[in-house]
Structure 1
Amino acid sequence: MSTRARRRPTVKDVAERAGVAPMTVSYTFNHPARVAEATRNRVLEAAARLGYHPDSTARALRSGRANQLGVVIGEHLSYLFDNPQATQFLAGVADVCVSEGLGMMLIPTRGDASDVDRVLSAAVDGYVLWTTVADDPVLAAVAASGRPAAIQGGPAPTGLVCIGPDDRAAAAAVAAATPLAEATPLIISFPLDRRRTSGVLRGNDLPSDLMDPQAVPFPVTGARLAGYRDALTAGGHDWGNVRIAVVERNQRELGEDAAEALLETLEGSGSVVMLAMSDELALGAYSAVRRTQRNNVVLAGWDGSREATTSGVWSVAAPLREQGRACAQAALSGESDGHLVPWSVVAPEQRPDTDR
């Protein structure tokens, strides 16, 4: 059997088969109203017999539209499929692409000089960006590209629409919903810097202005830390002494490791409130709590997942699927105003049971 690739049929092949000029074939696919019905049917039949399909790249060049939305991710590409919340966000973007008849292109970035060229060279009509750091050069490049763009969670330079909840207010609310007054507070935090440095810190080790992108370039991290600080200081705790475990990525196993490290710093057996910046991190902490057989730890997370709330975790619900839809719609419409996503504190359905 021959292994040579079958030659792809061309416009000229279809024209010869249908007995028409090549321009007639082009009009049939690009301006069908200009071609008589009988002729159009003859061309379509010839194309079907030959297996001809119009060149989508050439069509995009002629129309000025790629009919694709680019999704820019500053994480490992597999993160979109491994992390339940990232998957929900991507599903929301896909919902809009399906309804609008568009394709979706995933564009991972690596934090190096090639990122800007990779993003700008993508054949897309607009961009949806996953939250990143304030000094990410991709942000300025996308904002100056002339293509509409929206980002989940920020940061949002001029030219990008920001979609997300009021992270600071929501973080303060979920922390205040727990029994803070009589407990030792601990925090499991997202990365603080582009290097994703991990470790256990205290409040005194952090910048005084957590909302300053120069100090904490990840805006989601800064806002949620500021919200936790608001609730803790209002509850009479000394922020400077609060222990904070910073993880490299939003992964359950890292939440488990962080919780173990935090629990090892405690003296005595008093009650604890552990505030994690996601349900994945909180569920990792839940595993650590069960393994150490502590029954006096209250956990809080973020994302309002069923698994978390049935495991006894307080959480914040601000559905990422809806945020994905809103980002995609903004990227297609070119609207200039971002908007805050509604959020709510979700109480646990049951307390953690260390005997299960």
Structure 2
Amino acid sequence: MSTPEQRRPTVKDVAAEAGVAPMTVSYTFNHPARVAEATRARVLAAAAQLGYRPDSTARALRSGRTKQLGVVVGEHLSYVFDDPQAAQFVAGIADVCVSEDLGVVLIPTRGDAGDVDRVLAAAVDGYVLWTTVADDPVLAAVAGSGRPAAIQGGPAHPGLVCIGPDDRAAAAAVAAATPLAGATPVIISFPLDRRRTSGVLRGSDLPPDLMDLKAVPFPVTGARLAGYRDALIEAGQDWDDVRIAVVQRNQRERGEEAAAALLGTVEGSDPVVVLAMSDELALGARLAVARAQREVVLTGWDGSREATASGVWSVAAPLREQGRACARAALSGEADRPQVPWVVVGPEKRPDTER
């Protein structure tokens, strides 16, 4: 049991110390413009002397606002800090939260039965969701929560603002920027499903409709594969014979392993075009390419300075700006521009194609 000395000071204690009504103390902390400057200073001095701090939980219950924005992460939570592009995305969210005097709550999901409860139990005013699968029950739960929400990259869902680039068009453009017609193309792909099954496939192993979320539930993966296929067919390549390495994680070591496996299947002396779905995978693939005795052209995604300086063609659609756009939409329920502009950036860092 606490002693009088240990008891937490209350609004009434501050009011008595400052010689004002309890309502004046409440206004001082919640609506300071309603309190005269001299009175406000007296209340704050009394609160400091007593060690009083407003109860944020009670304030949230009264106002209906928590002043927190939830970020739902469908990856291992450490991914947000380890992956440079994920870190840029969260930094963009933080930019908006700083300007709006909000906190950020990271909410991990694991693909289990507890995800919905974990997300809905978070005391937040709105949600930003990192790309997930089409059948994720969290999508419907968030959409029905009554709180505004935005998702980066999809899948699109009623009640959620979807923000991202035209992945299919951008993938086709970055592939077309390379010498596809006289080369052997290979692809390093993000996971196709939530099980994150890895391995080497051929184009003929994939469903005909890559944009069908029942067939490829990760919309970003499906759209980029569809874009690569568009460019390859346009260049006269046989899509059914194209080799595709699916990796579990967006990590350089995975890119290196995938590139080594793919290059080991290529016969003849034709140059190879490696179409990687991220700059991290492309930079990892570059390590394997350095050991190969053949000409290789690399493409990535994210337009990072390191990648373009290393000779990688890339798609720049800055994730920091996407994070800002998602945060603004999660606070308002609307997006100024849901379609994110993108640009193909060559090894010499020059814009080549813009949408």
Give the TM-score of the pair, scaled to structure 2. 0.93
Query: Structure 1 residues 50 and 307, CA, compared in 2 at 3 Å: closer, same or farther?
Result: same
Worse-superposed segment, 174-183 or 265-274? 265-274
Query: Structure 1 residues 322 and 147, CA, compared in 2 at 3 Å: closer, same or farther?
Result: same
Local SS of the residue matching 2:344: strand
> Where in structure 1 are there 5+ consecutive unaligned residues?
351-356
Local SS of the residue matching 2:297: strand
Deviations 1:110-158 (A, max 9, x none): 1111111111111111111111100011001011111111111000211
Q: What corresponds to 1:297 in structure 2?
A: 296
* Distance (Å, rounded) in 1 between the aligned partners of 2:209 and 2:121: 37
Query: Where do 1:174-323 residues align within 5 Å?
Result: 174-290=174-290, 292-323=291-322
Deviations 1:229-250 (A, max 9, x none): 0000111111111000000111
Aligned-pair CA distance for 1:280: 0.3
* Distance (Å, rounded) in 2 between the aligned partners of 1:201 and 1:348: 28
Local SS of the residue matching 1:339: coil
Aligned-pair CA distance for 1:101: 1.1
Query: Structure 1 residues 339 and 31, CA, compared in 2 at 3 Å: closer, same or farther?
Result: closer
Q: What corresponds to 1:93 in structure 2?
A: 93
Aligned-pair CA distance for 1:43: 1.8
Q: What corresponds to 1:330 in structure 2?
A: 329
Local SS of the residue matching 2:268: coil
In the alignment, is the contact (CA less than 8 A) between 1:160 and 1:336 conserved in 2? Answer: no
1:341 is the counterpart of 2:336: no
Aligned-pair CA distance for 1:301: 0.4
Local SS of the residue matching 2:236: coil
Paired residues in the alignment total 345
Local SS of the residue matching 1:340: coil
* Distance (Å, rounded) in 1 between the aligned partners of 2:304 and 2:27: 51
Worse-superposed segment, 50-59 or 11-20? 11-20
Give 1:136's aligned amino acid.
D
In the alignment, is the contact (CA less than 8 A) between 2:180 and 2:235 conserved in 1? Answer: yes
Deviations 1:189-229 (A, max 9, x none): 00000100000000011011000000000000000000000
* Distance (Å, rounded) in 2 between the aligned partners of 1:217 and 1:294: 37
Q: CA RMSD in A?
A: 1.7
Aligned-pair CA distance for 1:34: 5.0
Local SS of the residue matching 2:179: coil
Q: What corresponds to 1:353 in structure 2?
A: none
> Where in structure 2 are there 5+ consecutive unaligned residues?
350-355
* Distance (Å, rounded) in 1 between the aligned partners of 2:47 and 2:33: 18
Worse-superposed segment, 208-217 or 30-39? 30-39
Give 1:129's aligned amino acid.
L
Aligned-pair CA distance for 1:337: 7.8
* Distance (Å, rounded) in 2 between the aligned partners of 1:183 and 1:328: 42
Query: Structure 1 residues 293 and 239, CA, compared in 2 at 3 Å: closer, same or farther?
Result: closer
* Distance (Å, rounded) in 2 between the aligned partners of 1:146 and 1:174: 39
Give 1:265's aligned amino acid.
T
Aligned-pair CA distance for 1:36: 5.0
Q: What corresponds to 2:352 in structure 1?
A: none
Identity of aligned residues (%): 82
Local SS of the residue matching 1:72: strand
* Distance (Å, rounded) in 1 between the aligned partners of 2:215 and 2:268: 34
* Distance (Å, rounded) in 1 between the aligned partners of 2:32 and 2:93: 31
Local SS of the residue matching 2:15: helix
Query: Structure 1 residues 178 and 33, CA, compared in 2 at 3 Å: closer, same or farther?
Result: closer
Give 2:219's aligned amino acid.
P
Q: What corresponds to 2:123 in structure 1?
A: 123
* Distance (Å, rounded) in 2 between the aligned partners of 1:32 and 1:344: 47
Aligned-pair CA distance for 1:15: 3.0
* Distance (Å, rounded) in 2 between the aligned partners of 1:146 and 1:104: 19
Give the TM-score of the pair, scaled to structure 1. 0.93
* Distance (Å, rounded) in 1 between the aligned partners of 2:41 and 2:338: 48
Q: What corresponds to 1:354 in structure 2?
A: none
Query: Where do 1:40-55 residues align within 5 Å?
Result: 40-55=40-55
Aligned-pair CA distance for 1:57: 1.2
